[in-house]
Structure formats: C-alpha cells, structure tokens
Amino acid sequence: MESSSEVQRGSQKMSAIGLIMNQLRRKTSFTERRQKSGSFFWPGESSERRKGAEIKESDDADAKATDPGTDPTTSMDMEITSVVGWGRVKQFLEKLGKKPDSQVLSLSHCDLTATDIVELATLLPFLTQLEVVDLSWNDLVGGSLKALTFKLQHVGKLSLLRLCGCRLTAQDLEALGNGLEAVPLLELLDLSWNAGIGKANLHCLTSRFLPGCNMRELRLVDCQLTDADMTALGRALPVLTNLKHLDLSCNKITAEGIKEMSSSLHASHGLKTLKLHMCGLEEDALSSLGDVLKFIPSLEGLDVSGNKAARGGLARVAKSLALLTHLSCLDIHLCGLTDHDADALVEVLPSLSALTELNISSNKALGDRLQALLPTLPLANMRRLLLNNCGLSTASYQALGSAMSSLVLLESLNLSWNKSVGGHLKLLLGALLSMCKLQELRLSSCDLTTEDVLHLASAAKCGALSNVKQLDLSYNGGVGDTGWAGLLAEAGGLKSLEQLDVSLRPSTPTPASPWIPNLLEALPTLPSLTHLALQHWVLRQDERDKLDNITEKKKKGFLLECDKS
C-alpha cells in the first residue's frame, strides 16, 4: 500500500481501475459533476459543440479586441462582450466555490478535469489583469495543459504560476515551455510534486527558457530528478540570469548531479537561496556542493537539512561555507552531525558575520558542544535559533542562559524536546525582560514544572512576552493546575498571541476543570488568538459548551483542537 506522503506528492502509480475511472472523469467537468444551476449551453448540446462554441466566442472576442477600427458600434460590442465574458468567469468560479478576482486565480484542490481546463482556457481573454495562477493538487490536469498554455498570450502580466501535484507529463512541460514567451513577467514557477517532470523529462521545459527571462524563483521539490535532469537544469542556468531562489528538495541528487549543475552555476552568481533538503546527499556530494558554493558568494540562504547520509561530511564543505559572507540563514537540522562536524562548524561560524538564522535541530551530538558554538555566533544579529531535540546538556543550557542577554533581536527560540530545560526556565526568562522581541517560543516536551510556568506567567505580567505570537507548551504533563491557571491569569501580557498549544500526550488524559474557568476568562482578552490546542485534556460537556460558545464569537477561521467529550 502506498504511503500518504507518496500519494500527496503526486505518485504516478495508479491501478487499472483508477486509470479507467480517471478517463471517465476527464470527460466530465467539475461544474457538470456538481451541477446545481443552468449551464452555459442547452442541455442537449454535445461537449464537442460546447467546446467549439466557447472557442469561437473567445476567438471572436480576441478579434474585436485587436480590431483597429473606431466604429462606435464595434466599441459597444467590445464592452458588451467584456461584461458577458466576466459573467462567464464569475459563473465558472462560483461553481467551484471560489470568489472571482481579476488578479488572482486560485483553484488548488478543486478536482479540476481536462474539460475544466479547456473551459478555463476560453476565459483567459477576459482575465487580462491576472498576475497569480494556482492550479495545484488537481491530478487530472496532467496531459491537458496545452489547452491552457495556448491562451497564455492573454495574461501577459502573469508573475506567479503554481502547478504542484498535477501529474504533469513531458508533453505538458513542452507546452508550458512553448507558452513562456507569452508571459515575460513570470517570476515564480512552482512545479513541485510532479514525478513526470523528472525521469529525464526536465529538458522539455528548460530548453525553452528564453535568454534574460524574468524568472526569479524555481521550485522543483520531489520531482524525481535524475542526473540527466540536473544536466538540463545546468544548461539552463546561463539563461536564468535573474534567478534568485532555487529549491530542489526531496530529489535524490548524486555527486555527479551536483557537478552537472555546478558546471554552469557561475552564470547564476546572483542566486540568493539554495534548498537541498532531504536530497540523500552523501559525503562526496557535499564535496561537490563545496565546489558549487564557490560560484555563488552572494548566497544568503542555504538548506542542506535532512541529509543523514552526509554524516561526518560537513568538514568537506566548511571551507566554502566560510566564503559565504552574506549568508544569513543556515539550516543543517537532522543531518546526523558528529563531533568532527561540530568542530568544523565552530571554525566556520566566525566568518558568517551576516548570520541571523541557525537551525541545528535534531543533531544530538551538538548537545554537549553548544557552549563552544555560541561564542562563535554573531549573537547581536541572531533572529532565529532552533535547537530542538539537540540533547542539550546542563552545561550547554546554562551557556545558552548566559548568552540570552546578548540575543537582543531574537524573535524565535525553539528548545522543544530538551529535558534540561525543565526546572530551569527562569534562567532564560530573566534576559527576556530587557528584550521583548520574541515572537515564537517553543518548549514542547521539556519536562517543565509548575514553577517554570509560573515564571512564564511573571514574564508575561512584566510585558516580556507582549510580542509573542506562537507559544508551544505541549507535552509537559508535570505542570500542575496552579501553573496553567497562573499563566492564563496573566493573559493580558500575551496580547499578540495567535497560537497556543498546551496539549498533553495521548497516554496522559487529565481533567482540565481546575483551570478551565481561567481559560474561559482569558479568551476574550486575546483578540489575536486563532489557534488553540487542548488535545487530551478531559472536559465536561458544560465546559466544552462554554468553550465553543466563546470561540464561535472569535473571528472566522479560529481553530480549536480539542478531544470530543
């Protein structure tokens, strides 16, 4: 059985029955399948006649729009056509449950079929102001994209196109490539989670990139790219002179593949962000990556996280990392870093004076080395420090506490799954009193005590948490009722709070009655709160009713995660 992640990422494997059903669905549009009101045509007309009539109407509108004549009658006809055309757009979108917008077309997860794509294509002449198109997660779009790209000349202002998880084929890529000339302002192209793009098919698109095109961001996450695809991408880089962000995450990339890309990467010397998350990079691939980085000294963000096979290979890329003097974000979480890697990191960090974000989470070997790493960081510039599940030792945690006073711009701190925090939270909170910049604080599964949470309440009362938007205190079953009640009593000091999570582990359901009154009293004083997680707390029916009554009065979109009574 396929995993849910494989299905989500657009796996091309389908059963024989699934293929037959999809062919049947392709012949029936979304609007026909959910017909509730009259269609654009009489019921007896065939789909071919409908398609022909729509295309003829669209072509007539195009001819009128380009006619140089100045006949007032013609102008009036054009205005009428425009009004009628917009009415068709509204009707099409409303049947999909969407509101019409002349600049944004967002139809992700709409179960679109090939017939819908043909119908949408006939509407593009009436959407000349369109800037954003998102057709993601409509897996029946694959194989029918040509009908849409043939009409791209009508949306010349398009700047963002997303086609994630659409089961795109080589023919779709070729059609898209042929249509790129019609959208010269396109800046972002996201084709992630389309397995058909890889398997040596990427050249169908990249070979049609135009010199000097405006493309600034290209996302190809989980597209099953091969070495041949990396070669095709490398050949396109000299054309993509404006490219700033490249995301190749979740593709199995070999050292040879990186070499193929690096051969032309010097042409993208303006690249700002490179993401290679979970690419199965091994030590030799890191060596090749080091050679790549030499060509992009302007790089500001590098993500090589989730590459466990590179364990012990950080030293191979360390010298090149030191050249990235503009690097502001470094993500190396879940890389199985060793003591040798930690030593290499200590040597590199002093050169990264522009660093503002560091994610070294889920590297437990760093738990004893943090006291050596912290002095090498530009602490006064740091905005995000993610240290969750690092196995912080007591000495490392104390070193962090001492460094907190220097982290004056810190906005996000994640210490979840570090047991050394429990019973010692006051060590960190003292420095917050003079900062008040923190927006995200995550302390999930930290063995917090009642006293820890009361210290948190005191910090809130003093205004030290006034900018906090996300507070995660989940999986801390050692906190008593007094702690939760005390924190909620100081809800006024959490005026910016948007997300609060105090869930328990599934194995430890506990009655919430002692502090629920404090929560009910606090909720109206938290105007920005949109997400409250209370999972595995036991609520009486009357308590749940009161909670529902208050949350229903919150603005639309409020999310309450709570077990059913």
Q: Which residues pair with 561 in a beta bridge?
A: 533
Question: Model pTM?
Answer: 0.84
Is residue 459 one of the residues assigned to a domain? Answer: yes
Would residue 227 count as lying in a domain? Answer: no
Residue 249 resides in a domain:
no
Q: Which domain holds residue 501?
A: 422-565
CATH number, domain at 501? 3.80.10.10
In a domain, 379, yes or no: no
Whether residue 3 lies inside any domain: the answer is: yes
Of 133, 164, 197, which residue constitutes the final position of a domain?
A: 197
**Residue at 548 is within a domain:** yes
> How many other C-beta atoms can be found within 10 angstroms of the C-beta atom of residue 286?
25
- Does 319 reside within a domain? no
The reply to whether 264 falls in a domain is no
Question: How many domains is the chain partitioned into structurally?
Answer: 2
CA pair distance 561, 550, nearest whole angstrom: 14
Alpha carbons 319 and 329: distance in angstroms, whole number: 17
Task: Give the DSSP letter of residue 90.
Answer: H
379, exposed or middle or buried, with CB in 10 Å at 0-12, 13-18, 19+?
middle
Query: How many whole angstroms from its chain centre is CA 255?
Result: 27
CATH number at residue 117: 3.80.10
CA 5 – CA 259 distance, rounded (Å): 29
Give the integer Cα–Cα distance in Å for 222 and 335. Answer: 19
* Predicted confidence pLDDT, tens digits, the chain (565 residues): 444 444 344 444 445 555 555 555 555 555 555 444 443 333 333 344 344 444 444 444 444 444 444 454 445 444 455 667 899 999 999 999 999 999 999 999 999 999 999 999 999 999 999 999 999 999 999 999 999 999 999 999 999 999 999 999 999 999 999 999 999 999 999 999 999 999 999 999 999 999 888 999 999 999 999 999 999 999 998 899 899 999 999 999 999 998 888 767 766 678 999 999 999 998 888 888 888 888 888 999 999 999 998 888 888 888 899 999 999 999 999 999 998 999 999 999 999 999 999 999 999 988 889 999 999 999 999 999 999 999 999 999 999 999 998 999 999 999 999 999 999 999 988 777 666 789 999 999 999 999 999 999 999 998 889 999 999 999 999 999 999 999 999 999 999 999 999 999 998 889 999 999 999 999 999 999 999 999 999 999 999 999 988 888 777 778 999 987 6
Task: Provide the pLDDT for residue 82.
Answer: 61
Domain end call among 151, 174, 197: 197
| Domain-ending residue, one of 142, 174, 197 | 197
